[in-house]
Amino acid sequence: MIINILSIIVALGLLITFHEFGHFYVARRCGVKVLRFSVGFGKPIYRYVGKTGTEYTLAMIPLGGYVRMLDEREGNVPESLRDQTFNTKTVWQRIAIVAAGPIANFILAIVIYAFVALLGIQSVAPKVGDIATDSPLSQTQIQIGDELTSIAGEPVTSWEDVNLVLAGLIGQTGSIIVSYQVEGESFQREGSVKLNRWLTGEEPNNLIQAFGVSPWQPDVEPVIAQVVEGGAAYKAGFEAKDKILRVEGSTMSSWQQVVEVVQASPGKRLNVEVLRGQMTYNLSLEPEVMQRNGVDLGYAGLAVVPPKWDESLIRERHYGPIEALSYGALQTYKMVTLTVSSIGKMLQGLISVDNLSGPITIAKIASASADSGLQTFLKFMAYLSVSLGVLNLLPIPMLDGGHLLFFGIEAIRRKPVSERIQGMAYRVGASLLFALMAVAIFNDIARL
């Protein structure tokens, strides 16, 4: 719980601060007096007044923020300060001030991705481990051990690339080309995959598996690395370096087989034959009962010796400063196009609204990415920054995009949209945003 809370505070706090700083910085450059710069909503827990009179506030609820500017529409303004009001600035200055928030998020994403590139990017090559029957990929001649090189014309050098390309194919109909490399061959082969409204209306948990492929993994021998003290295996006499040969007379050739047998035998006594040095021993194991999703599973309290990966499948690339910025810009562009495309498909009904996520899911992903390491957490923050920028540019009143829509109309008509129409639009926009938030939070709770 503490990790979840800290992860979401760090992620959202930085993104919101950078977004609002974009508004704040451009407003100051345009000569607008900023009354308050707030990160979060609700009761302030920290307040500071700067030399220019701006109040900097940190509030209780870190799910947003705002920059309050001097504006004649919100109250009387002394004549001496009238030239510092937001509403008296030209329409192009107001457009720049409003657009600066989302642009700041895109800049932040570029910087984060560039920093990740400078650290060095390590990935696992997309070598095929298994292909599901009657799946999209089973339409090709790809075999176990082949390496994917491109999907639908997009190069893929890692499973992360594969996942990103597949996300863009949701709802698609037609034929796509999958290129792959057979080990020992110097040329690439191609296969055609026909899609028909692929995953339309579904909520896929794993796009790679939905496409019909499982990543290749080295064989995991059933050799014990650690025995949990006080656990079922510890009581049965298991030791580190023991190799499990048989369980109830069945030969165990992989660790996964051991896991499956143990999990299927909660509270049942199992006869286990192990190899210890040059001697074999018969041990009696009674797995403890552990509940997961309402189902009783057996638990032994054993850790396996991690397998050795083929070093040729581990790809690592380091970037110089210029290359890193280029990489950051390209990754940000890919995420922007993917997010915009996903929103469009959701409006068309090709992507289910069940995919909408709220603060609970964001907190869980933030925590999981933090556990996975610095680079994973930074990539999550970059994607979240892109999402925040894109969503704020949607032409919905109350969002930055809604303000830009009205200012755009004003620039064309040479006169502002009436306050009555704007007021009605803001009420509709508020209702829509609250409805979307309610759906997102409902989905969060359903996933729990």
Catalytic residues: 20
Beta-carbon count within 10 A of 428 CB: 14
Using only the alpha carbons of the chain, give its radius of gyration: 28
397-406, Cβ contacts within 8 angstroms, sequence gap of 24 or more? 397/422, 397/425, 397/426, 397/428, 397/429, 397/430, 398/426, 398/429, 398/430, 398/433, 399/429, 399/433, 400/98, 400/99, 400/101, 400/102, 402/426, 402/429, 403/94, 403/98, 404/95, 404/98, 404/99
